[in-house]
Amino acid sequence: MAEKKEKKGEMTVEEAGHKGGEKTAKTHGREFYEEIGHKGGEKVKEEKGPEFYHEIGHKGGEKVKEEYGPEFYKEIGHKGGEKVKEERGPEFYKEIGHKGGEKGGKKGGERVRELIEEGKEAEARKK
């Protein structure tokens, strides 16, 4: 987006927009922005279709991979997994693994069991 440094009186257009945004935030609160954001998202989905979000998400992911490298995803995935384990406990993984095994058939279930076993062994080594 192009920056507007044009002066209109004592402040730039950018400064005036920022000031107006702060006033709106104080007047209407966070919910207002959530609501108009949701409405805007629905309108875009209606006009461009849900594939649009898939497309821009993919482009964004490619850009992140380009900037930070593929290892970045491994790191943030590990951090996310640790956070989930901290919040929900290791039993959560057993539960979702079981559900995944049911949906994935015998082959998927076997892999899930292997992963659960590997996780248990890793936990035991830490102790």
Greatest alpha-carbon span in the chain: 71
SS3 3: coil
Domains of the chain: which residue ranges?
11-69, 70-127
Other residues' Cβ atoms within 10 Å of the Cβ of residue 111: 14
Tokens read off for 43: 């309108």
Per-residue model confidence (pLDDT) at position 97: 78
Per-residue model confidence (pLDDT) at position 122: 83
Task: For CA atoms 90, 96, 97, 99, give the dihedral sign.
Answer: positive
Q: Letter for the amino acid at 17? A: G
More confident residue, 96 or 38: 38
- Is the pTM here over 0.75, yes or no? no
